[in-house]
């Protein structure tokens, strides 16, 4: 490990819309932020080929290109963007005391404030064909990508509230939606199940699992299997939406920062403050309701403002 410890005002962990927006505001507030990007520079949005619902892009944009725009904007105001992974944290519970962070098991940093913007990762089934076609018809966000499947046929994998919400949303846009539910019943609440009953172009296949996504560069169909009979069939679809949940990227902060039972960081009231003074959380790491780029960006702004105000109280 390096023998010298770098001291900074504001450390931003994560490089999605929340992280970069926090960086823009923190830079403009003269907090001289340093950002560590993590292994997936740009976050989840880099797996989305087209972004049509982020303000300021009237013709839409590519997810990777949008994140590059945000990075360039943050750097223009003075953010130092570094490729690296936070591997250990020692967060002080005392107001005004610096927090220690280890980068890539080698570099030690002391930060007066930390903005956690590590996001959440969509859960996937792990099929080779599914992973290969992410961005080519496989998605984990109907509100992000559903628009591109207007009047087409798609499937939704999952049987919980999230899956029903995604399926009924898609049914308003698509010609037909087929839900694949591996059990013989839905896990979704009764209220959500009633939504399905009222949706005519939505079909549910029980005891059914996704066996393979068919297509070379884009989704052309799926092969499904009945897990009771073993019978397989192919369904012609152009979109596959995986709705089996998200996992917040918070393992690093377990038993340090207060989280809910699923690992999402709990923030105080309408702020981005965590239970640790000087540590703030923004984006999908603390938001399991909306999970949109624009809402993540909004909380990134809030986190930078909260960090600035915190530092002002210490002066």
Q: Average of pLDDT values for 165-176? A: 94
| Per-residue pLDDT band at 242 (split at 50, 70, 90) | very high
Whether 229 shows a pLDDT value over 90: the answer reads: yes
Q: Kindly state the average pLDDT of the residues 265-277.
A: 97
Architecture (CATH level 2) of domain 5-121+247-314: 3-Layer(bba) Sandwich (3.50)
Q: 41-83 pLDDT, tens per residue?
A: 877 777 666 788 889 999 988 888 999 999 999 999 999 999 9
**pLDDT surpasses 80 at 1:** no
- For the chain, give the percent of residues with pLDDT over 90: 79
Mean pLDDT of 216-236: 96
Distance, C-alpha 28 to centroid of its chain: 26
User: DSSP of 91-127, one letter per residue?
Assistant: ---STTPPEEEEETTTEEEEEEEEEE---EEE-----
Instruction: Identify the CATH assignment for 124-242 out of 3.40.50.300, 3.50.50.60, 3.40.630.10, 3.40.50.1000.
Output: 3.50.50.60
CATH 3.50.50.60 domain range(s) in the chain: 5-121+247-314, 124-242
User: Which residues belong to the active site?
Assistant: 141, 144-145
> pLDDT tens for residues 117-159?
999 988 899 999 999 999 899 999 888 889 999 999 999 999 9
What pLDDT score was predicted for residue 49?
Answer: 60
Q: What is the pTM of this model?
A: 0.79
Listed in sequence order, the residues at least 6 apart from 178 whose beta carbon sits closer than 8 Å to its beta carbon are 153, 154, 155, 156, 202, 203, 204, 205, 235, 237
Summarised one tens digit per residue, pLDDT across range 8-54 is 999 999 999 999 999 999 999 999 999 999 987 877 777 666 788 88
The proportion of the chain whose per-residue pLDDT surpasses 70, expressed as a percent, equals: 98
Burial class from Cβ neighbours inside 10 Å (0-12, 13-18, 19+) for residue 75 reads middle
Distance, in Å, from the CA atom of 101 to the CA atom of 122, rounded to the nearest integer, reads 26
């Amino acid at each position: 490990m390096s023998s010298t410890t770098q001291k900074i005002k504001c450390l931003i962990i994560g490089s999605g819309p929340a992280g970069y927006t926090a960086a823009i505001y923190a830079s403009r507030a003269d907090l001289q932020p340093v950002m560590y990007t993590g292994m997936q520079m740009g976050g989840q949005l880099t797996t989305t080929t087209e972004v049509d619902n982020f303000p300021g892009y009237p013709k839409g944009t590519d997810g990777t290109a949008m994140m590059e725009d945000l990075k360039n904007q943050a750097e223009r105001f003075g953010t130092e963007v570094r490729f690296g992974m936070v591997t250990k944290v020692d967060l002080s519970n005392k107001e005004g005391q610096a927090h220690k962070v280890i980068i890539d098991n080698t570099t030690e940093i002391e930060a007066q404030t930390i903005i956690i913007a590590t996001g959440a990762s969509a859960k996937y089934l792990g099929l080779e064909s599914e992973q290969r076609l992410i961005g080519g018809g496989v998605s984990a966000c109907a509100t992000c990508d559903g628009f591109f499947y207007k009047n087409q046929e798609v499937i939704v994998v999952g049987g919980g509230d999230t899956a029903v919400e995604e399926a009924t949303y898609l049914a308003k846009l698509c010609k037909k939606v087929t839900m694949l539910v591996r059990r013989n019943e839905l896990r979704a609440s009764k209220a959500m199940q009633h939504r399905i009953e009222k949706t005519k172009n939505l079909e549910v296949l029980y005891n059914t699992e996704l066996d393979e996504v068919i297509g070379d560069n884009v989704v052309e169909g799926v092969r499904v299997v009945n897990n009771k009979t073993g019978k397989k069939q192919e369904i012609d679809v152009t979109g596959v939406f995986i709705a089996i949940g998200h996992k917040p990227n918070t393992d690093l902060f377990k038993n340090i920062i207060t989280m809910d039972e699923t690992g999402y960081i709990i923030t105080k009231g309408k702020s981005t403050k965590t239970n640790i003074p000087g540590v703030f959380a923004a984006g999908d790491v603390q938001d399991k309701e909306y999970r949109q780029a624009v809402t993540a960006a909004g909380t990134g702004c809030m986190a930078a403002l909260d960090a600035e105000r915190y530092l002002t109280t210490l002066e």
